Amino acid sequence: MQPARFRIEWPSVLLHGLQVLAFCCVIAVFTTIIWPDPGYMRQLVFSNCIGMLTWLTIEFGRLLVPPEHCHRGPGSSSHGWPRGWRGLVLTAAGIAVGFLGGTRLAGLLLGDTIQARAHDPTLALLVTIAAGIVASFYFHARGRQAGLQADIAAAERDASQARLMLLQSQLEPHMLFNTLANLRALIGVDPAAAQRMLDHLDDFLRSTLAASRASSHPLAAEFERLRDYLALMAVRMGPRLAFELRLPDELGQQPVPPLLLQPLVENAIRHGLEPQRDGGRIDVSAAREGDRLVLEVHDTGAGFEPGAPPGPRVGPDGDVGSQGTGFGLVQLRERVASAYGDRGRVEIQSQPGAGTTVRIALPLSSPGWP
Amino acid sequence: MTTALIAEDEPLLAAALQAELARAWPELRVLAIAGDGASAVEQALALRPDVLFLDIRMPVMDGLDAAAELADRWDESGGPFPALAFVTAYDQYAVRAFETQALDYVLKPVRPERLARTVQRLRAARAGISATGSANEATVASDTSLQATAEQLHRLLAALQPATPGTAPALRQLPVGTPGSGGATIRMVPIDEVLYLQAADKYVRVVTADGEHLLRTPLKELLPQLDPQQFWQVHRAIVVRADAIDTVQRDEAGRLRLSLRGSAEWLAVSRLYAQRFKAM
């Protein structure tokens, strides 16, 4: 079912093997200090047989643990260290196999009789356990670190992808050229209004470019950008668009991810108001509810079927733009999740013909809130 | 006196186009400005303008669909079909298609020199119509002009299909929802049992000999996945299985309709797709 489960990354296995080999040589020095009698070479054989068998058992034994119980490895498909008790059991099993099998194997290699094998089995076992735990912990920590680095790299990739998509949706050519067409029309009939529109466009473009770089800005700035965008759209749509923005003064400094609400307002216009002959109205509000900041974008537009769409669909899901539930909402959920984890919530209410309300609840960020 | 209708949902842009037209074509009289595709069709039918400026992206019905619907409902006996000029802010595919189909278009923001060129072409087309009209062949001329426009629109819409047929493997079965199951039960309807498909809002009605089902895929997306030999589009919203067609009739106004074996319904054939049945 999952071919990745048994995929072995030989370069990293080889590297692990060499590290174990080196570690075993050090252990042999240590055991030679405890039992100087049989000599370093003999100790080296014992140490390596035990060490290599322990390592092989753990290295390949972890492939038997289902991937969902493992930490993520350095590559996206690689199999990391097993989590929780599975990791402990695997380590214990490796040490047991290594000690029992390794001493026997070393005995065979050196041509010993069973009686002559070990000086003090208990001490030898303790040395093996200690060495096994140290080595396992080392590989475990290394693996986790590599996994974390991979996660960070993936998150950075996702974030830049998201920024690019946001930028693309903001600078949608149809919107830009229609705005320019309106500007051209206004220059002739109402130069003062044309200047105001140009200022809004200027602010809108600047903030869009800035938002693709910054990771947060004050809520007041977010509302200013919405005002720019809605003012541009109000010139274009005339009486078909009415809007109101309500931001209580005390919430203006709350930090939010830039252009968090922007795609929602854009969706409300594009999929809610534009398909309707008479347009509609958009209300954007911020409120404090307990220890949460609640942002709401409500439109009186076309709405859509809530929840899972009834009936099946055929073919590629390439209709993100036309269906109205695509980029904006998916993107919003991802952005809220990556910025706030479980403490951020996105709720959508919609009915065909009755408009759409999107509610975002975020933790308030001022610690000393009155 | 030449008359025009402007269909544009943004009031400032409609006013700007009207002002530019007043400069570029002083004898043109703008009869009305429609704010969406559906009212553009109604007003065009009522006012019968000579020229129709159609914005592509409009509420309720877009400019291309409005042109197709107008071509279907236009009564040729009352005069020639209006000359069409599409207006768009940015539609690179549409613009390419307009060029290949030799349909007039203007880009927003509208520039005087570009509009002058369109006006020149529209005037020339008008002159051609009045010339044949004075030669007492008005009916014939208007018929060919409507038919020609319908065929142009047909090719235009075909060129604007999201994917060309043949790139996706033809569907063998349609997974349809069962009424009342809330999407929990899916039935597979073999494509050969389908009589016709009809776009209804965001759904497609799948009609077979034993009943009908709903498919939540827009017809525009479904079309490229159907075998064009087996399934014929006969209307903006209707696709029939060619083998199921029983009879095709022409009414007094020259409109076609067809019936299918296994169904009592008559389906309208759009002028855009009428040339399939030219032998009749």
**All structural domains of chain B:** 2-159 (3.40.50.2300), 173-277 (2.40.50.1020)
Nearest C-alpha in B relative to A275: B59
Dist CA A258 CA A210 (whole Å)? 9
Q: Is A311 in contact with B185 (CB distance < 8 Å)? A: no
Mean pLDDT in consecutive groups of 10 residues from the start of chain A, 370 residues: 58 86 88 81 86 88 79 58 81 88 85 59 82 85 82 80 72 86 91 93 86 83 92 91 95 90 88 88 94 94 62 35 52 84 88 88 69
The answer to whether the CB of B8 falls within 8 A of the CB of B17 is: yes
Q: Tell me the β-bridge partners of B34.
A: B7
Q: Which residues contact A288 (CB under 8 A, 6 or more apart)?
A: A248, A250, A251, A294, A364
What is the spatial distance between Cα B39 and Cα A311, in angstroms, rounded to a whole number?
32
Indicate the pLDDT class of residue B104, thresholds 50, 70 and 90: confident
Sorted by sequence, the CB contacts under 8 Å of residue B144 that are 6+ apart come out as none
Give dist(CA B259, CA B261) in Å, integer.
Answer: 7
Cβ contact, residue pair A236, B203, below 8 Å: no
Q: Which residues of A196-206 are buried (b: 16+ CB within 10 A; e: fewer)?
A: ebeebbebbee
ipTM given for this complex? 0.76
Examine the pLDDT at B164 and tell me if it is beyond 60: no
**Is A184 in the B-facing interface, judged by CB distances under 8 Å?**
yes
Q: Do B183 and A173 touch (CB under 8 A)?
A: no
Which amino acid makes up residue A324?
G
Token pair 């107008």: residue:
B70
Nearest to A62 by CA among A130, A21, A128, A54: A54
In this predicted structure, the answer to whether residue B111 has a pLDDT above a threshold of 80 is yes
Does B109 touch chain A if contact means CB atoms closer than 8 Å? yes
Question: Nearest CA of chain B to the CA of A206: how many Å?
Answer: 22
pLDDT, one tens digit per residue, over B42-73 is 999 999 999 999 998 888 888 988 998 998 88
Nearest residue on chain A to B176, judged by CA atoms?
A: A312
Q: What is the CA radius of gyration of chain B?
A: 21
Minimum CA–CA partner of A178 in chain B = B89
| Closest residue of chain A to B18, computed from CA coordinates | A185
Interchain contact, B10 vs A238, CB within 8 Å: yes
Residue B6 has pLDDT above 50, yes or no: yes
For the stretch B174-190, pLDDT in tens is 888 766 666 677 888 89
Ordered domains of chain A (ranges, CATH): 3-157 (no CATH), 171-306+322-363 (3.30.565.10)
Cβ(A57)–Cβ(A97) below 8 Å: yes
Cβ contacts of A174 on chain B, cutoff 8 Å:
57, 89-91
CA-nearest residue to A186 within chain B is B12
- Chain A: give the shortest CA distance to residue B119, in Å: 19
CA distances from residue A165 to A123, A134, A171, A325, B203 in whole angstroms, order as listed: 62, 47, 10, 15, 29
Task: Tally A–B CB contacts below 8 A.
Answer: 108
Phi/psi of residue A166, nearest 5 degrees:
-60, -45
The answer to whether the beta carbons of residues A282 and A298 sit under 8 Å apart is: yes
Other CB atoms within 10 Å distance of the CB of residue A38: 17
The dihedral region occupied by B183, where left means phi > 0, alpha psi between -120 and 50, and beta the remainder, is left
Q: Cβ contact (<8 Å) for A174 and B108? A: no
Tell if the CB–CB gap between A314 and B203 is shorter than 8 Å. Answer: no
